[in-house]
């Protein structure tokens, strides 16, 4: 990490810049390490594995100097972060320096374009278009349009003897008539079944 004042590279164990004496820039990991050290020290003291004198000396090592002239530590009683402004300790939440946040954002992997998703959508649309074209050509939709096709089918239903051009577009009028009769019969039976089930 570089010094905020002079730009000199400051390594992890050094708390101050060897070039200008400014405090080393604080990283998020510094806050995490300080919190862990303080928790370990409190655990040792509460288990009576260290004396009170050793505890007080080690507590001085659990202070983190920031480059703006303040210091950070965790209050032993409330377990909350405290910041020393040069005169008084005040309750304050730690901050993440802007440079680290920028570096962290820059290191995130860029979102990959979802090419496979767009390809899948394109294939789906192509299949729908092909299916529509097949249905249109086989039923005459592309020649007449949907409404005219139904009108021609109704006309073919009425006429037994139709010109060959009509059967090319629509199909055999006899087959259409038998299909329409079959659909009407099925619909009648379904309607009767629904009415009968509602009356019971």
Does the structure show a pLDDT above 50 at 85?
Answer: yes
Instruction: Please give the pLDDT value at position 102.
Output: 46
Does the structure show a pLDDT above 60 at 174?
Answer: no
- With a threshold of 0.75, does the pTM exceed it? no
Does the structure show a pLDDT above 70 at 37?
Answer: yes
Instruction: Please give the pLDDT value at position 164.
Output: 47
Instruction: Please give the pLDDT value at position 157.
Output: 47
Question: How confident is the model over 113-140, as a mean pLDDT?
Answer: 75
Place of tokens 């010109």: 163
Confidence band of 31 (pLDDT split at 50, 70, 90): confident
Does the structure show a pLDDT above 60 at 8?
Answer: yes
**Residue 71 belongs to what H/E stretch?**
strand 71-74
Instruction: Please give the pLDDT value at position 183.
Output: 65
Instruction: Please give the pLDDT value at position 70.
Output: 82
Which pair of tokens denotes residue 123? Answer: 């294939």
| Residue 94 burial class via C-beta count within 10 angstroms: exposed 0-12, middle 13-18, buried 19 and up | middle
Q: What angle do CA 127, 133, 139 make, to 5 degrees?
A: 135
Question: How confident is the model over 109-129, as a mean pLDDT?
Answer: 77
């Amino acid at each position: 990490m570089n010094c905020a004042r002079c730009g000199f590279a400051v390594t992890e164990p050094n708390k101050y810049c060897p070039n200008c004496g400014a405090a080393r820039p604080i990283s998020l990991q510094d806050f995490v390490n300080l919190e862990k050290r303080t928790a370990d020290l409190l655990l040792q003291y509460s288990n009576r594995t260290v004396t009170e004198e050793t505890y007080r000396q080690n507590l001085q090592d659990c202070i983190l100097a920031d480059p703006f002239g303040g210091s950070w530590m965790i209050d032993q009683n409330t377990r909350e972060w405290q910041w020393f402004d040069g005169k008084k300790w005040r309750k304050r939440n730690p901050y993440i320096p802007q440079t680290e946040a920028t570096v962290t954002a820059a290191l995130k992997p860029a979102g990959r374009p979802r090419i496979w998703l767009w390809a899948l959508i394109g294939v789906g649309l192509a299949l729908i278009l092909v299916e529509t074209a097949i249905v249109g050509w086989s039923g005459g939709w592309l020649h007449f349009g949907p409404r005219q096709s139904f009108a021609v089918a109704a006309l073919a239903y009425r006429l037994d003897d139709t010109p060959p051009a009509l059967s090319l577009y629509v199909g055999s009028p006899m087959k259409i008539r038998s299909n329409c009769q079959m659909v009407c019969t099925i619909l009648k039976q379904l309607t009767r079944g629904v009415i009968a089930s509602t009356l019971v």
